[in-house]
Structure 1
Amino acid sequence: MLRSLVGRDDAAFHPGQFEAIEALVAHGRRTLVVQRTGWGKSAVYFVASLLLRSRGAGPTLIVSPLLALMRDQVAAAARAGVRAVAINSANRLEWDEVHAALEADAADVVLISPERLTHPGFREQHLPELLARTGLLVVDEAHCISDWGHDFRPDYRRIAALIGELPASVPVLATTATANSRVVLDIEEQLGAGVLTLRGSLGRESLRLGVLRLRDAGHRLAWLLGHLEDLPGSGIIYTLTVSAAEDTARILSEAGHAVLAYTGKTDTEDRERAEQLLKDNQVKALVATSALGMGFDKPDLGFVVHLGAPSSPVAYYQQVGRAGRGTANADVLLLPGPEDRDIWRYFATASMPDAAKAQSVIAALGEAARPLSTVALEPLVELRRTQLDLLLKVLAVDGAVERLGSGWQATGRPWEYDAERYARIAEARVAEQDSMVVYEETAGCRMEYLTSVLDDETAAPCGRCDNCAGRWFPGSVDPSLLESAGTQLRHAGVPIEPRAQWPSGMEKLGVAAKGRIPADEQVAEGRVLGRLTDLGYGGPLRELFSAAAEDTEVPPALARACVSLLSAWARGDSAAGPWSGAGRPAAVVSVPSLTRPRLVDSLARGIAQVGQLPYVGALERTEAARAGQAGGNSAFRLAGVWEAFDVGPALREQLARVAGQPVLLVDDLVDTRWTITVAGRLLRRHGAGVVLPLALGQSG
């Protein structure tokens, strides 16, 4: 059967493959397979599925974490003669066909995303029948079901309950390439008694690892500009943030390199196209965040480069494992950055539930007379949409809330914040971050360190990495390319899209704002110097806006950059034309800052002086602003600034002199854009023409 699947008469099992299949098919055991990427875990569950099907068993149910992985698995199954279907958020139009195939017993394998397990319609209408007929359950990328896995995925925690619903006679297979002993023990406990664990060597003979420390983002980009084409074949350039991926892809593309950005914000169709172009070697690289991760299958991927280090050796091993699966050699290079720890810290805290906010969500749902959608719930709790969605999933797994149709309701079951569990996770993450720094700094074999951190008892020196065999990559940076990279990174200006709609449910917060914002009260498209996550201005902006930073006048380098930004804006740096089509501003107004008044005032006055524009003053802060507290989500942020500003007599008089003419509105930091929206609305109501927002930084 293996030879039929792979189309080779001389095919033989890798060590451990036959043992896993035998445990599942002959003994119905629950089995955990921890093997390196490319070992052939899919062959285990495809062969086991066909053997079980030949005995009259139902289809195999595979829980698979990523759409890209699903697409590859369905395609691989078809090539192997396995009839596979998928159920996920991206193929809703095909669900009827999938269910018809199941009804006709015409599917050998059914792949579902873990998110489907939380969908009430799927859980109530389809899951019971599917479980009753399942012949084998496969949990792919099983480290995700562990608290100690490198990704906090609450949907995966439902799988333990799913396993408990299966008849004892149904075998279960869990597979992963990234699990240390602690993760293995946790998975074994969730699989139940009598688990057979098969662990192999995680060392990858095809990979040549290296670490190159460079001074800053400009040097890292210059290195890429000069040496990308020297890397073998096509590959992946990983970044830690969406903006870094977009900036890097833009700069490399403008320099003539065939690259595409691939992030969580990339449309599904564009993702599929980018994946296929990489597989067909039509692009040199995808510049990607972790959105391109587990299970992406390109056996001849020639290289993986990281601009910035992932937060753990586990995550790093997972990503570099994309390379060299079907080739004798592949290059893996890490270019760490000084900002890495800040980014690790941000993502670690953003994904962890908060006790007080969780209780507020449960209370709000408990007080509601009907199920609430996230849109309706958002004005009642101080959480942004992404955090709210994540928290609802966590609470649903814990049994405190449940989905009913398109809304959520409280179950009434008691819920307590598991502080000890989350403290353990947080502590483990810090330890993993420290381990990643050790990997960067070690003088020993890098592959040996990576695999030993994953508790591979066979870990040994590889003889190929930069520490074993000497530096295999150039460490030089061409000065002309460094200058070019610096110029590109200093490319100032990120558009600030104007708000056109008030958030839903503002009346619940005492704010009389509903529906569309009238056109004559909206601000125009604005500009921000840079995002805090940018490769270029991100570093100095993060330093300027850090909690420990003192309020100072705008630094000269940033002031000069703002002048360049204004010059580009005046020349027409977008399809909207010069000054977003509004015309040259007639005056400068500033937003008063509670935390950085010197910074904003110096920025506004400096711009006015250079642009030879009158600085007509700042809006006034009201008592309501001093008393109000802005919450986390859009509705609470708007409520916090709704009555925060006023136009004083002096400013009112100045605005009268430029009535109907464009005004430049200067702020320090843009986040939800409600401050500039409310301030601009106020200026327009007092006679200003088009309001053009300008800010130093954007937090997103």
Structure 2
Amino acid sequence: MFKKQGLPIYGPRLRKVARKHFGWQSLRPGQFKPMRAVLRRKDALVVLPTGAGKSAIYQIPAVLLPGPTVVISPLLALQQDQIAALNDLADSKVRAVRVSSAETAAQKREAMELLRTGQAEFLFITPEQLSDPERIAEVRALKPGLVAVDEAHCISTWGHDFRPDYLALGEMIKQIGRPPILALTATASPPIREDIIERLRLNKPEIHVSGLDRSNLFLEVAYCPDEDYRWRRLTAMLDAEQRPGIIYVATRRAAEELAERLTTAGYGAEFYHGGMAAGIREQRHQDFSDDKVDIMVATSAFGMGIDKPNIRWVAHMALPDSPDSYFQEIGRAGRDGEPGRTVLLWRSEDEAIQRFFAGGSPDAGELQEIAGILHKGPQTRTALQKATGMGPRKIGQLLSLLEEVGAVQTGTGNKLSVPPRAPLPAVAAKAAIDVYERQQAIVRSRTDMMRAFAQSRQCRTETLLAYFGEEIKRQCGHCDNCADGTAAEVDAAEQAGPFPVHSQVRHNEWGTGMVMNYEEERMTVLFDTVGYKTLSVPVVVEQKLLTPA
């Protein structure tokens, strides 16, 4: 279908579909290669910045592939925006339907019938809906040609916490026939990419990372010795900048209190967080999208699904939990290509909040109890919840850990069982806790890297891109450190480093890792198993702590 004289002719076909069905006259940088991977029926992981056209990477090839395309997406608001954009085209080749908690049983049946009869191409669905065995059977019968996992970083950042169904996506996709998988995200550092690949069980995926340098965004960071100073810096920015904009805070209470303080001071603001009623959240989301709200004070729950090009600035009133979250959130500014500003106002106390959110270690007794029950015979999750008295969230977290150590497997009908040669319950519980501790080491290291970014005197874009595995050969010119000349002062330290930035090194205890950056006499290395470590360069050289890998 896609060959002429033995050579692929993907480009003309893709461009023709883009023009005919979507009205796009050209493809953007970073889109063509992953589209080609999709048409070759290969798995792919794509990291493109917000606003770079990730959705087109599955939408255009889907027209050329047999069978419908399943789009697994985390938020109903995000799904609704994408569905509306597709259906506004009034083209049966790109019609989209949804199966979610927002649809009635009759609407779900109608959606499946449209897909079965070829009157719709895209099925939008959440992991929770896909976890239903009956739904899996229905989707399998459609013989989908592609699965697109949107916002794929949620597999890593949410799956270990409050969306455990994300961790089972690989098994769910296998049960619907295992079509090729396209994972899409705007932010994924190397450890998160590995997590995505492992969780989705991607088969030798093509990895495409491009365009992460947003040259229209000015990156600025300020250390705030106290809350009064942080407030003054924020209001100074509000007085100087156009609107709309987003202010990110660490907690729900902080969102409500800051919105009230801003409104009292004459800056009309609303707040948004995950603890609000769904209807109010949807209304706030819509009001911001419609330019009825100029300043939104929000937790990290706000952002995905905001397809709003004219956001002029994004401010953070605390250290984000990781550079991944930070990059995702600042990427919402300046999507129209016009200048945008990002301001991070941080205090040392911010880290304590992130440590608190990391939570405590799982209970060995509970892990052993679950493993012991499964040793007696296969069980459903519902049966496990009844037998243990644990809630679905906790069960999901513990099962995920047990699965990682080979103590649990998911079989037909979504029943859980013990695989051959599985460790005994007590051994499995200890191994699962070890896995959890390794995960938490990575989480803690991301918080450490966020603080290092805030304190850095290097080019901030260079520091961010190094974290994501990209590199620029110059100072960016659009961050505070480049603007005031401090970035130029530290370039010499990097040039004098014992290993090139982004080179692979090995440590006797921590294994292999990648050199991320240098600053003064310190170097940061991302190790595969223990996360980020900051080392003294003189000690590394003198004691030969690192060798080329």
SS at match of 2:45: strand
Rounded Cα–Cα distance in structure 2 between residues aligned with 1:223 and 1:384: 43
Rounded Cα–Cα distance in structure 2 between residues aligned with 1:176 and 1:376: 33
Rounded Cα–Cα distance in structure 2 between residues aligned with 1:16 and 1:65: 23
- Residue 122 (str. 1) matches residue 135 (str. 2): yes
What residue ranges of structure 1 are gaps of 5+ in the alignment?
A: 472-700
Q: 1:32 aligns with which of 33, 45, 69?
A: 45
The corresponding residue for 1:63 is: 72
Rounded Cα–Cα distance in structure 2 between residues aligned with 1:432 and 1:77: 37
Structure 1 residues 374 and 331 mapped into 2: Cα distance closer, same or farther (>3 Å)? Answer: farther
The corresponding residue for 2:30 is: 16
CA deviation vs aligned residue, 1:290-310 (integer Å, no higher than 9, x gap): 111334321221111111111
- Residue 346 (str. 1) matches residue 356 (str. 2): yes
Q: TM-score scaled to structure 2, two decimals? A: 0.73
CA deviation vs aligned residue, 1:287-339 (integer Å, no higher than 9, x gap): 11111133432122111111111111111111111111123211111111333
Structure 1 residues 404 and 353 mapped into 2: Cα distance closer, same or farther (>3 Å)? Answer: farther
Structure 1 residues 312 and 437 mapped into 2: Cα distance closer, same or farther (>3 Å)? Answer: same
Q: 2:265 aligns with which of 255, 273, 281?
A: 255
Counterpart amino acid of residue 198 in structure 1: H
Kept after mapping to 1: 8 A contact 2:147/2:180: yes
- Residue 243 (str. 1) matches residue 253 (str. 2): yes
Pairs within 5 Å for 1:147-546: 153-165=163-175, 170-188=179-197, 190-225=200-235, 227-349=237-359, 353-360=362-369, 377=386, 387=394, 390-391=397-398, 400=408, 411=417, 416-417=428-429, 418-458=432-472, 460-470=474-484
Post-superposition offset of 1:250: 2.1
Q: 1:85 aligns with which of 85, 94, 97?
A: 97
Structure 1 residues 257 and 51 mapped into 2: Cα distance closer, same or farther (>3 Å)? Answer: same
Counterpart amino acid of residue 255 in structure 1: A
Post-superposition offset of 1:263: 0.9
Pairs within 5 Å for 1:71-110: 71-80=80-89, 81=91, 82-92=94-104, 94-110=107-123
Post-superposition offset of 1:344: 1.1
Pairs within 5 Å for 1:513-592: none
Rounded Cα–Cα distance in structure 1 between residues aligned with 2:62 and 2:484: 46
Counterpart amino acid of residue 19 in structure 2: R
Kept after mapping to 2: 8 A contact 1:119/1:403: no
CA deviation vs aligned residue, 1:110-129 (integer Å, no higher than 9, x gap): 11112223334434x53432
Counterpart amino acid of residue 309 in structure 1: L
What residue ranges of structure 2 are gaps of 5+ in the alignment?
A: 1-16, 486-549
Rounded Cα–Cα distance in structure 1 between residues aligned with 2:80 and 2:242: 26
Kept after mapping to 2: 8 A contact 1:148/1:182: no
Rounded Cα–Cα distance in structure 1 between residues aligned with 2:22 and 2:239: 33
Size of the alignment, in residue pairs? 455
The corresponding residue for 1:605 is: none
Rounded Cα–Cα distance in structure 2 between residues aligned with 1:198 and 1:403: 32
The corresponding residue for 2:545 is: none
Kept after mapping to 2: 8 A contact 1:118/1:393: no
Structure 1 residues 31 and 367 mapped into 2: Cα distance closer, same or farther (>3 Å)? Answer: closer
SS at match of 1:462: coil
Determine which structure has more spread, i.e. the larger CA radius of gyration: 1
The corresponding residue for 1:2 is: 18
Rounded Cα–Cα distance in structure 2 between residues aligned with 1:355 and 1:69: 38
The corresponding residue for 1:505 is: none
Rounded Cα–Cα distance in structure 2 between residues aligned with 1:231 and 1:354: 49
Post-superposition offset of 1:109: 0.7
Post-superposition offset of 1:199: 2.1
Kept after mapping to 1: 8 A contact 2:385/2:395: no
Rounded Cα–Cα distance in structure 2 between residues aligned with 1:296 and 1:387: 30
Post-superposition offset of 1:183: 3.4
CA deviation vs aligned residue, 1:513-560 (integer Å, no higher than 9, x gap): xxxxxxxxxxxxxxxxxxxxxxxxxxxxxxxxxxxxxxxxxxxxxxxx
Structure 1 residues 463 and 376 mapped into 2: Cα distance closer, same or farther (>3 Å)? Answer: closer
CA deviation vs aligned residue, 1:656-691 (integer Å, no higher than 9, x gap): xxxxxxxxxxxxxxxxxxxxxxxxxxxxxxxxxxxx
Kept after mapping to 1: 8 A contact 2:146/2:182: yes
Rounded Cα–Cα distance in structure 2 between residues aligned with 1:208 and 1:331: 5
Counterpart amino acid of residue 449 in structure 1: T
- Residue 134 (str. 1) matches residue 144 (str. 2): yes
RMSD between superposed Cα atoms in Å: 3.6
Rounded Cα–Cα distance in structure 1 between residues aligned with 2:83 and 2:465: 30
Kept after mapping to 1: 8 A contact 2:83/2:96: yes
The corresponding residue for 2:528 is: none
